[in-house]
Every structure is written in structure tokens, then in C-alpha cells.
Structure 1
Amino acid sequence: CQKRGAIACSTNSTTLGVGGESFKAHFVGRSRLAPFLNAWLAAPDTAILHHHFMTGHILEVVDNYDPTTEVVLLLESFDRAMFFYLKNLPITPPQCYEQVCKTWDEFQPGVSAGQDEQLPTIC
């Protein structure tokens, strides 16, 4: 059973490392999504693009999407918050995660095992 929720990603606090630029991303489960959206979208420096994509609409999508084949992505970039509902993907999200885990070293050139770079987590 796949857990419902959204991937929240911010490009506002990037870090530059040997492998390039990285940014914070985490999975917000459905049970925590409403409070997260209310706090995130209420921040004075965040304006959501396309104002009709408000909390209720995002929650409705999360309640109805298929987490085995689709992805809900919330992206923060500077003072903008964007909502993406990704469908018809060439690889399913579980397959993608599995492939990233298997080939994680390829995503971290120049970083030896045990250093700060860690696999993405699903909570």
C-alpha cells in the first residue's frame, strides 16, 4: 500500500557540493498536509501561482491520485509556490525510487560512502 501525500521541494536554500547543486525535498503525508499547506501558503513571502490551486484543491487531488503511478509536487522557488500533478510518467514513482536507491553513488560523484549525502527518505 502506497502512502498518500505530496513531495515538497524548496529551491530557496540550495547547497553546492562536489556533485552540483542540491536542495531540500521531503514527503508530506496526507495526515499532515492540510496544516503544512496552511502554514506554507500563509507565509507573507509566499504567493501561490494560479490562485485557484488552493489548499482544498490540492487536498482533493491528493485524496484521489494514484500514488503508484502519479506524483503530487509542491515547489517553492523564491516567493512563489507552485503545484504540480504529474501523470503518465515514463516510470512509476516506486520504480524511480528503487532505481535511485540502486544507483545512488552515480548521483553523488566525488562523495564517498558515509559522508553527509544521504538517500532521500520517505516518512
Structure 2
Amino acid sequence: MRRVNEEDIDFDETEMVFYEGEPFTGEVVETDRAGNIVAAVAYNQGYRHGPWREWHSNGNLLIEGRVEFGKGPVGTWKKWHKNGALAEERRFDDHGRTLSIREWDENGALTVDEAYSKPV
């Protein structure tokens, strides 16, 4: 997969991504000052499509999910606390609507557990 740095891409008013004047297909990464990858998002023909990942400054995973062409998030998205404990799990339908939300505190105690009869 082709990978480029966020600094090397351009966006248009619709948030379509271009690299060297062409709609981009591949992975766009964001790095910190030390060169560590802090975010990686997949694109296809200029649109977000595929895995989306972000990391805490300590290298632990922060967010992981998937986006589809023009639909936003789909499937299960997870978010972690800086200590590596699962913080949130959201499930989305094929149109990016929320099906359920579960949240945990840094010690692993469940604090939110919601499921929706109709996607929101």
C-alpha cells in the first residue's frame, strides 16, 4: 500500500484528498516531532475508505475502526485509555449510524451500556 505523510496531501472543499494533483489511494499518516506515527487513515480514489487508527503518545493504540466511501464509520470502533485499557466500543451499521455504545473507566469498570432499537 502506498503511504504518504499528511503534510504532503491537499484537501478540496469536499474533503477529497489529493497527492501530486491526483485523487489519492493508499494510507495517509500523521507523525509526531520524533517521527512516530500517531494516525493512519486509508483512502481510495481520494475518499476515506478502510482502516483508521490513532495512537497515544506512549505508543499504545488510541482508536481503531473502519470507514466506507461516503458512509462514515462502519462496524465496530474501539477506543483505549492511555494505560491500554479499553475505553469505548461503538458499533455502527453499514450507513454510519450508531447501533450501540459501551464505555469503561481506566480500571475496566463498565460505565455505559446502550443499544438502540433504531440506529441513531
TM-score (norm 2): 0.25
> Higher helix fraction: Structure 1 or Structure 2?
1
Q: Which is bigger in relative contact order (C-alpha 8 A, separation at least 6)?
A: 1
TM-score (norm 1): 0.24
